[in-house]
């Protein structure tokens, strides 16, 4: 009988074989597999203890739960294996839903955000649902058998409830404060290994700096991520310089003061970038104030200017804490911010505020105070605010329209007052859509036939009224169904009465007529409202949009009655609403008095004159009053620069008048003389040039002139026109950017963080709002600024 190995007699179970290590017999030669690639088999991972030196990357297992321990590979192949894994970096799987683990209510799951906090070493195995450490796997010695020594190496970590648990966080404990901890020893060995391989070190440094830059994007709202950015940045800098001191290993730079200093550096870099974009150019200030979560008055400052490429930029610059909203207080705050960043007040060429008296006051308002210091800082009342005032005033002064919006709000509140009614509404709409699909009245398609809900109109945004009207029209049948259910099955009498009243409103011909009338009017003005809130909007295009809106509403008054009434009748017939006879008499009296009176009118006259004409005339009256040509003389003259329709409105005499009247200090006397001849040459060239003749806005024209830079270093052509275009484009259109900054302030300074100091708030808002700039700031520059900011006991 041949001699057999002892394990031939004592056969082990398959489960034990998976858990044990692979034993390499010294008596038997190691076999080299012909196909050494490790397949991802979740039932039992492949165990190959030798890799093909010519194709290492395809021979190694990426999943940390399936790979075999590093110490089981041959010694002459370990460095190549380490080099391959370091080149790949940590295995960080981005799953849509990580599996739950635990018992009962204590179930937890792995979080993808942990990768950004521990990006340099953390790995996740989808097959084992466990976390691992890459450096510990590659550079740790063979486990000594001590409990917990193999957790982040081979067995995996799964106690998710112990992560982000303050000082008891298991990931922080794994890193450890002791420089001689297993993890830190593995990190040192990793650094020594990288120092021996220059090419691999450069690859890892590029990957690490890119990872740090991506992690810094989380600075938007979370101070915790700012802390982890500091740890990674300082660690990255320390690894590059090869500093091995024990004091530096203990220094993490995680105190609140350090975090705020780093955030201050980043926000200063953002503001410096904005100042460099402005340079010596003229700019406009847009100011608005609001109350934050801690009931403190905050003033936001936005700078509007034209960059070198000829594009309009509106940048959030700073937010200041003010004790009151008096014009003198606001001016001192604005001037203080501008002086701290070396921005000259004399370069202001525009002011944008809302219509409050402390802003627009002719004698003591903020715009008047700046006009005294800079007479060419022209004030433009926010176009979006003007439109809001015009629409609100027009709706309140027409009694029937005012009552309609009261009824609309009442109906929406009754239907959407609870989650139960909301679910009933969506179920009714889904059933209606199903019936329409069966009858072929609607067709299927991507994004079509979505189940929605009725929208409530807001008090400060007139565009929300249009959305509320559209949602009610699209969900009319479902809304009526829900109201009938409430009127029948509600437990309280008040609820049944409200539902019955709302149902009667929806079945009224007057309500349906005004519903469609306001949809037509507000659909026309909503396009203007959305266009005025764009940051890239210029005043010339805004004036053109206002004119076209007024022309469309006037056309609706003259030619839109027949089409509107036909739509109303069609809607009523579809939903079984009684349509009155237009030739019948309509009583103008109230409270049931006799209809036999002198001033009787037909129903058609009543709806056409009292509703249709009166509502439209009031809208036109308010729009003409708020956007009068006399009040916008500067903007009207600026329309002569428009290149639309082959420079049809391009008037040389009007442009020269604009320069003489509003910008005399921005052009010398000789330039004013040369300007009309310059414009004649430009007009002739523009109508012949393929790049200039098909433009529609002055921003497109300015961008084209900025792009046409002579290659031989000669002065830019059409320099006078380019300067005038930039001055006109600097004028503000709306204060929407400041209002967006206050929305960001509510995200940052919330109810849970309502005691944050002002500097911290201002810096956080700058980094968050202007994140397109903060993303481009290098980590090296932040570290250098922090190093020069304070004399640290530990050298970075």
Three-state secondary structure of 740-783: HHHHHHHHHCCHHHCCCCHHHHHHHHHHHHCHHHHCCCCHHHHH
Contacts of 534 by beta carbon, 8 Å cutoff, 6+ apart: 736
Q: What's residue 15's pLDDT?
A: 39
Beta partners for 352? 286, 380
For the four alpha carbons of 506, 509, 514 and 517, in that order, the dihedral sign comes to: positive
Angle at the Cα of 157 from the Cα atoms of 153 and 158, rounded to 5 degrees: 155
Note every long-range contact of 414-422, with CB atoms under 8 Å and residues 24 or more positions apart, other chains counting: 414/483, 414/486, 414/498, 414/499, 414/502, 415/454, 415/479, 415/482, 415/483, 415/502, 416/453, 416/454, 416/456, 421/482, 421/486, 422/453
CB proximity list for 563: less than 8 A, separation 6 or greater: none
Beta bridge partners of 124: 131
d(C-alpha 96, C-alpha 186), whole Å: 32
Report the C-alpha gap between 37 and 53 in whole angstroms.
12
Please say whether the dihedral angle defined by the alpha carbons of residues 383, 389, 395 and 397, taken in this order, is positive or negative: negative
**What pLDDT digit, counting tens, does each position of 372-389 carry?**
989 999 998 888 888 888
Structure tokens at 769: 């709002």
d(CA 36, CA 333) in angstroms, rounded, equals: 70
342: helix, coil or strand? coil
Q: How far is CA 729 from the centre of its chain?
A: 25
275, 315 contact by CB (below 8 A): no
CA distance linking residue 126 with residue 64, whole number of Å = 9
Cα gap 207→82, rounded to integer Å: 16
Identify the residue whose tokens are 């105070």. Answer: 369
- Residues sharing a CB contact under 8 Å with residue 710, sequence separation 6 or more, in sequence order: 716, 717
pLDDT at 276: 94
Element (H, E) at 382: none
Low-confidence ranges of the chain (pLDDT < 50): 1-48, 206, 209-229, 231-250, 590-596, 713, 793-794, 796
Tell me the pLDDT tens digit for each residue of 649-685: 899 999 999 999 999 999 999 999 999 999 999 999 8
Q: Residue 209 contacts by C-beta under 8 Å, 6 or more apart in sequence?
A: 236, 778, 779, 780
Euclidean distance between CA atoms 767 and 318, whole angstroms: 11
What pLDDT score does 304 carry? 95
- For residue 562, the Cα-to-chain-centroid distance in whole angstroms is 43
Residue 262 in tokens: 């780093």
- Give the model's pLDDT for residue 530: 85
Q: Do strands 130-133 and 312-321 pair parallel, antiparallel, or not at all (unpaired)?
A: unpaired
Q: Which residues contact 369 (CB under 8 A, 6 or more apart)?
A: 327, 328, 331
pTM for the complete prediction? 0.65
Give the residue among 332, 422, 408 at the shortest CA–CA distance from 369.
332
pLDDT at position 123:
92
pLDDT at residue 298, as a whole number: 94
CB 182 within 8 A of CB 136: yes
CA distance 185 to 484: 73
Nearest CA to 396 out of 465, 476, 469 is that of: 465
Q: Residue 35: what pLDDT?
A: 36
């Amino acid at each position: 009988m041949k001699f057999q190995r002892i394990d031939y007699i004592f056969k082990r179970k398959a489960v034990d074989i998976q858990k044990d290590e692979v034993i390499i017999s010294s008596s038997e030669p190691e076999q080299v597999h012909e196909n050494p690639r490790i397949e991802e088999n979740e039932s039992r991972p492949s165990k190959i203890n030798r890799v093909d030196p010519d194709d290492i990357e395809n021979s190694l297992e990426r999943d940390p739960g399936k790979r075999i321990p590093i110490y089981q590979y041959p010694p002459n192949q370990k460095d190549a294996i380490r080099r391959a894994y370091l080149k790949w970096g940590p295995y960080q799987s981005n799953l849509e839903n990580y599996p739950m683990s635990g018992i009962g209510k204590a179930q937890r799951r792995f979080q993808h955000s942990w990768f950004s906090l521990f990006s340099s070493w953390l790995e996740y195995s989808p097959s084992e649902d466990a976390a691992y450490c890459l450096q510990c796997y590659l550079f740790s010695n063979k486990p000594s058998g001590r409990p917990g020594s193999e957790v982040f190496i081979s067995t995996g970590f799964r106690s998710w409830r112990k992560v982000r648990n303050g000082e008891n966080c298991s990931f922080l404990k794994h890193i450890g404060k002791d420089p001689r901890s297993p993890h830190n020893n593995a990190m040192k060995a990793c650094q020594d290994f990288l120092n021996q391989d220059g090419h691999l070190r450069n690859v890892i440094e590029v990957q690490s700096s890119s990872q740090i830059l991506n992690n810094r994007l989380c600075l938007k709202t979370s101070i915790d991520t700012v802390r982890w950015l500091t740890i990674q940045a300082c660690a990255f800098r320390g690894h590059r310089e090869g500093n091995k001191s024990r004091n530096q290993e203990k220094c993490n730079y995680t105190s609140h003061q350090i975090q705020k200093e780093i955030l201050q550096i980043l926000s200063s870099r953002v503001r410096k970038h904005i100042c460099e974009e402005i340079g010596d150019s003229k700019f406009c200030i847009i100011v608005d104030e609001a109350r934050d979560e801690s009931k403190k008055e905050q003033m936001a400052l936005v700078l509007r200017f034209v960059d070198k490429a000829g594009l309009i930029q509106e940048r959030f610059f700073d937010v200041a804490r003010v004790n009151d909203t008096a014009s003198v207080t606001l001016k001192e705050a604005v001037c203080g911010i501008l002086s701290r960043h070396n921005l000259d007040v004399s370069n202001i060429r525009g002011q944008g505020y809302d219509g409050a008296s402390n802003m627009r006051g002719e004698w003591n308002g903020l715009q008047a105070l700046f006009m005294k210091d800079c007479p060419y800082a022209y004030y433009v009342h926010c176009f979006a605010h003007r439109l809001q005032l015009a629409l609100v005033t027009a709706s309140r002064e027409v009694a029937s329209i005012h009552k309609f919006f009261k009824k609309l709000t009442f109906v929406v509140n009754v239907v959407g007052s609870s989650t139960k009614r909301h679910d009933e509404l969506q179920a009714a709409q889904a059933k209606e859509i199903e019936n329409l699909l069966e009858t072929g009245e609607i067709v299927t398609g991507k994004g079509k036939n979505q189940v929605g809900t009725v929208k409530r109109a807001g008090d400060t945004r007139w565009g929300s009224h249009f959305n509320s009207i559209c949602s009610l029209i699209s969900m009319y049948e479902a809304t009526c169904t829900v109201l009938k259910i409430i009127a029948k099955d509600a437990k309280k009498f008040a609820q049944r009465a409200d539902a019955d009243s709302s149902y009667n409103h929806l079945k009224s011909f007057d309500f349906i007529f005004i519903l469609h009338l306001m949809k037509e009017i507000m659909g026309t003005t909503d396009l203007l409202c959305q266009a005025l809130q764009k940051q890239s909007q210029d005043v010339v295009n805004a004036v053109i949009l206002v004119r076209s809106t007024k022309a469309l509403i006037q056309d609706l008054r003259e030619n839109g009655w027949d089409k509107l009434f036909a739509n109303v009748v069609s809607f009523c017939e579809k939903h079984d609403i009684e349509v009155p006879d237009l030739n019948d008499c309509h009583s103008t009296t109230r409270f049931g008095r006799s209809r036999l009176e002198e001033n009787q009118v037909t129903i058609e006259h009543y709806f056409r004159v009292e509703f249709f004409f009166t509502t439209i005339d009031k809208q036109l009256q308010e729009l003409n009053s708020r956007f009068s040509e006399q009040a916008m003389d500067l903007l009207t003259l600026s329309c002569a620069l428009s290149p639309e329709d082959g420079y049809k409105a391009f008037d040389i005499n009007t442009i020269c008048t604009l320069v003489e009247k509003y910008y005399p200090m921005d052009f010398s006397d000789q330039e004013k003389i040369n300007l009309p001849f310059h414009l004649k040459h430009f007009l002739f060239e523009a109508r012949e040039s393929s790049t200039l003749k098909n433009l529609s806005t002055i921003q497109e024209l300015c961008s084209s002139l900025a792009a046409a830079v002579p290659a031989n270093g000669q002065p830019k052509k059409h320099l006078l026109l380019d300067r005038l275009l930039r001055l006109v484009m600097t004028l503000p259109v709306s204060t929407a950017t400041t209002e967006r900054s206050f929305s960001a302030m509510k995200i940052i300074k919330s109810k849970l963080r309502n005691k944050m100091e002002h500097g911290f708030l201002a810096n956080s808002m700058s980094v968050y709002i202007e994140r397109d700039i903060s993303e481009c700031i290098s980590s090296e520059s932040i570290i250098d600024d922090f190093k020069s900011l304070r004399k640290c006991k530990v050298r970075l």
